[in-house]
């Protein structure tokens, strides 16, 4: 069991080192895939073990797996596998540089360590390590834009996370003056040392502020659209699909520690503010987005805002729904980002205005884009429909009626904006036709070219990811029990 | 080490930290900023050693050596390389002038004393009394980040912010557990190395390491 806990970190670090040392090895392009597969395998195995009632530990108690950790590890593995598999370069094309693959492995490993750590300090180190790993991935294309995005991302990300570290330091000081110096959240969860509430209040506020920066919650979100739009598509998918959720997981852990000490009000107010602001910002900016990838990035801010509202509600229903939402959003968003990368490769642009009548011209790309956007918009049967409904219902039950009413109104705006952009890209007439029609002439005669049915990359991972998102909302059994257990780890009130 | 000597040494180190912080806010020359940052790192290392000696903790003495190597030698050397690449001796033009920056720093110092109240409640003695100095350094770091437009100054601001957090950590709880301390040091080093590489790329791409040029991505 110890081996299973160590497996994700060790495999990913090993692959990162191997690809850095042998950048030209033929198997190098598969390294990210292998790392993600190892994470997924050990995640599923750990879910089974945790459901049997044990909590494996490793590395002298630094790593510990409870239901929440096992679930998050599975999500990282599943999303990682989707993004790396679907993002594989064509076999005929050149191998990606060794450093790219190496950084992807490091990134996956750091995220796994973050969710397995039983120590807020180690969790912080792992979250900061994700910034280190993704910095060069964001700046991978070396254009002016990607350089600017990388600079903003590293500076804002590191400063924000440094603030979270101050919060963790103060929490440590509070435990020290309570007589049990520890940063282990399992110890803090179970023993409840008598900590100074004033100090814990400051610590909690700083920690949430810091991790919220990394989670892309408004008003600390300004790096996110830049970084997510400039990174290579599979990396955007990983950052949007899981990195944000991993940072959000850190907030959930902090909440579980501090709520028993100072009551739920502080965290609830902070999270409500951040959640509503995030929804407002994304709703205000989604309508005038001109770039497909930036649009997807703002949609991520929207979904993080929803998660913040769910965490603020704090009931078992809300937390269970939030975790289901993490899974659904991760898979759907990473797949859609990969599709946007294929569109960039095929069309040479991600400008929404330049992508027209995609459905007629390139059905191989249009169908996955349509399915992905439908999932992100929350159409049934995709799981996000159920998790969003559950979050709103839980909010109404928890006495947050007016917040949820505002959130619903903002979600409607977001829905309209995203749907409008998507429909235009898929079915909209191209500029040339529109110009010809307004000029009164007949539409320009086009050569009857056969539509491009190629998917421009592996179809299977996208099909699996969308399939999982479609059925996971109905899946009971092990998923329901692991979600319920994870919510109870977070101290959800029934 | 007796209590009064400890109190004096802690105050001396805290004074040095604060002074170096103000000097960084004051000086416009990049070389001077980096030199004062090294001084600040050394003062922090001495502070850690003093606390370690007072608590007779061999671990903290080791951490002091690590802090000295990292914050007083290694990181300033990285920054110096970033400066030397292009504009050694360059005077940058901050968003606000020197007088305003110094007044802002004095206001921030007062703010630091006000907001540190709940933090000082956690402990007593000379170490807890010096906690506002760490918060002041943190706020100076933000000031530098907000008002300087040169890439290297931003790095200086980030490191001063980090020094401030480290100062609070050592004063309030004698530092964090060793594993975490090592991980944090490694992360800070890597972040600074990345930013140094990015600074070089910005300089080749834009002709100068001035961040005002980085304004093409917007909605």
- Residue ending a domain, choose from A262, A291, A316: A262
Q: SS3 for A455?
A: coil
Q: Are residues A238 and A272 in the same domain?
A: no
Q: Are residues A314 and A298 in the same domain?
A: yes
In a domain, A104, yes or no: yes
Report how far Cα B11 is from the mean position of its chain's Cα atoms: 17
Q: Kindly tell me if the per-residue pLDDT of A446 is higher than 80.
A: no
Cβ distance of B122 and A150 shorter than 8 Å = no
Cβ distance of A132 and B187 shorter than 8 Å = yes
Give the residue from B180, B199, B211, B213 with the most A CB atoms within 10 Å of its CB, the best one to mutate: B180
- pLDDT tens, position by position, A356-380: 889 898 999 999 999 999 999 999 8
CB B44 within 8 A of CB B17: yes
Domain count, chain B: 1
Q: Are residues A104 and A155 in the same domain?
A: no
Q: Are residues A443 and A415 in the same domain?
A: yes
Q: Are residues A105 and A192 in the same domain?
A: no
In a domain, A110, yes or no: yes
Quick one: tokens of A398?
A: 């928890």
> What mean pLDDT do residues A167-178 have?
91
CB A136 within 8 A of CB A227: no
pLDDT, mean over chain B: 90
Give chain A positions within 8 Å (CB) of B190: 129, 132
**Owning domain of residue B133:** 3-213
* Facing A149 at nearest CB: one of B172, B205, B217: B217
Number of Cβ atoms within 10 Å of the Cβ of A353: 14
Give the model's pLDDT for residue A444: 47
- Residue ending a domain, choose from A206, A233, A262: A262
Q: Are residues A185 and A241 in the same domain?
A: yes
- pLDDT tens, position by position, A95-132: 677 788 999 999 999 999 999 999 999 999 999 999 99
CB A313 within 8 A of CB A399: no
Q: Kindly tell me if the per-residue pLDDT of A438 is higher than 60.
A: no
Q: What is the ipTM of this complex?
A: 0.95
Kindly give, in sequence order, each residue whose CB lies less than 8 Å from that of residue A77, ignoring residues fewer than 6 positions away: A8, A36, A37, A38, A39, A40, A41, A42, A43, A44
Q: Bigger pLDDT: A326 or A491?
A: A326
Q: Which of residues 397-436 of A touch B (CB under 8 A)?
A: none
> What mean pLDDT do residues A278-299 have?
93
Give chain B positions within 8 Å (CB) of A198: 118, 121
Distance in Å, alpha carbon of A152 to nearest chain B alpha carbon: 9
Q: Which of residues 125-144 of A touch B (CB under 8 A)?
A: 125, 128-129, 131-132, 135-136, 139, 142, 144
Q: Which of residues 143-172 of B touch A (CB under 8 A)?
A: 145, 151, 154, 158, 161-162, 165, 168-169, 172
Domain count, chain A: 3
In a domain, B219, yes or no: no
- Alpha carbons A116 and B201: distance in angstroms, whole number: 35
- Residue ending a domain, choose from A83, A118, A153: A118
Q: Are residues A228 and A340 in the same domain?
A: no
Q: Bigger pLDDT: A51 or B89?
A: A51
DSSP characters over A101-118: HHHHHHHHHHHHHHHHBS
In a domain, B159, yes or no: yes
Q: Are residues A232 and A328 in the same domain?
A: no
In a domain, A81, yes or no: yes
In a domain, A128, yes or no: no
**Owning domain of residue A205:** 143-262
Whole-prediction pTM value? 0.94
In a domain, B186, yes or no: yes
Q: Are residues A271 and A390 in the same domain?
A: yes
In a domain, B218, yes or no: no
Cβ distance of B198 and A139 shorter than 8 Å = yes
Give the model's pLDDT for residue A445: 45
């Amino acid at each position: 069991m110890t081996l299973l806990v160590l497996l994700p970190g060790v495999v990913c670090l090993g692959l990162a080192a191997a690809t850095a040392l042998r950048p030209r090895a033929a198997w190098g392009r598969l390294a990210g895939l292998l790392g993600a597969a190892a994470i997924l395998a050990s995640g599923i195995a750990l879910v089974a073990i945790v459901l049997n009632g044990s909590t494996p530990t490793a590395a002298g108690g630094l790593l510990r797996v409870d239901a929440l950790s096992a679930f998050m590890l599975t999500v990282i593995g599943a999303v990682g596998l989707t993004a790396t598999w679907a993002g594989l370069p064509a076999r005929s094309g050149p191998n990606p540089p060794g450093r790219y693959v190496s950084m992807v492995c490091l990134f996956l490993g750091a995220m796994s360590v973050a969710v397995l750590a039983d120590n807020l300090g180690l969790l912080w180190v792992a979250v900061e390590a994700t910034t280190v790993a993704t910095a060069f991935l964001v700046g991978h294309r070396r254009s002016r834009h990607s350089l600017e995005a990388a600079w903003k991302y590293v500076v804002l990300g590191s400063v924000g996370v440094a603030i979270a570290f101050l919060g963790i330091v103060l929490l440590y000081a509070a435990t020290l003056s309570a007589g049990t110096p520890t940063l282990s959240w399992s110890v803090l969860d179970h023993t409840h040392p008598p900590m100074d509430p004033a100090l814990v209040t400051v610590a909690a506020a700083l920690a949430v502020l810091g991790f919220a920066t990394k989670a892309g919650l408004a008003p600390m979100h300004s790096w996110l659209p830049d970084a997510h739009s400039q990174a290579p598509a599979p990396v955007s998918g990983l950052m949007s699909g899981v990195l944000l959720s991993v940072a959000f997981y850190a907030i959930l852990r902090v909440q579980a520690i501090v709520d028993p000490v100072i009551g739920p009000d502080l965290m609830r107010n902070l999270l409500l503010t951040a959640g509503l602001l995030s929804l407002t910002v994304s709703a205000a900016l989604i309508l005038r987005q001109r770039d497909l990838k930036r649009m997807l990035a703002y949609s991520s801010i929207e979904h993080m805002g929803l998660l913040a509202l769910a965490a603020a509600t704090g009931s078992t229903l809300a937390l269970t729904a939030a975790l289901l939402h993490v899974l659904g959003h991760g898979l759907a968003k990473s797949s859609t980002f990969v599709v946007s990368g294929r569109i960039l490769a095929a069309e040479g642009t991600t400008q929404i205005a330049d992508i027209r009548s995609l459905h007629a011209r390139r059905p191989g790309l249009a169908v996955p884009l349509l399915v992905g956007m439908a999932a992100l918009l929350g159409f049934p049967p995709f799981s996000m429909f159920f998790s969003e409904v559950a979050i709103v219902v839980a909010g109404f039950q928890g006495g947050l009626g007016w917040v949820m009413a505002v959130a619903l109104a903002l979600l409607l705006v977001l829905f309209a904006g995203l749907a409008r952009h998507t429909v235009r890209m898929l079915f909209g007439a191209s500029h040339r036709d529109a110009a010809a029609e307004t000029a009164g002439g007949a539409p320009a005669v086009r050569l009857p070219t056969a539509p491009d049915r190629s998917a421009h990359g592996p179809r299977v991972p996208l099909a699996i990811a969308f399939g999982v998102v479609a059925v996971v909302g109905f899946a009971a059994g092990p998923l329901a029990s692991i979600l319920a257990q994870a919510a109870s780890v977070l101290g959800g009130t029934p | 080490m007796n209590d009064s000597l400890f109190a004096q040494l802690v105050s001396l180190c805290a004074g040095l930290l604060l002074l170096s912080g103000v000097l960084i806010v004051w000086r416009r020359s990049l070389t001077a900023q980096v030199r004062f940052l090294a001084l600040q790192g050394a003062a922090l290392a001495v502070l850690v050693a003093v606390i370690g000696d007072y608590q007779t903790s061999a671990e903290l003495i080791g951490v002091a050596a690590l802090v000295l190597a990292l914050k007083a030698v290694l990181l300033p050397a990285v920054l110096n390389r970033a400066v030397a690449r292009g504009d050694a001796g360059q005077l940058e033009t901050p968003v606000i002038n020197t007088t305003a920056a110094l007044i802002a720093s004095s206001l921030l110092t007062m703010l630091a004393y006000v907001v540190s109240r709940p933090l000082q409640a956690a402990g007593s003695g000379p170490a807890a009394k010096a906690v506002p100095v760490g918060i002041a350094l943190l706020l100076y770091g933000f000031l530098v980040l907000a008002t300087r437009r040169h890439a290297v100054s931003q790095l200086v601001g980030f490191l001063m912010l980090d020094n401030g957090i480290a100062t609070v950590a050592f004063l309030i709880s004698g530092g964090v557990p060793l594993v975490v301390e090592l991980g944090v040091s490694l992360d800070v080093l890597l972040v600074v190395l990345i930013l140094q590489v990015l600074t070089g790329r910005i300089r080749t791409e834009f002709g100068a390491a001035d961040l005002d040029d980085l304004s093409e991505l917007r909605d």
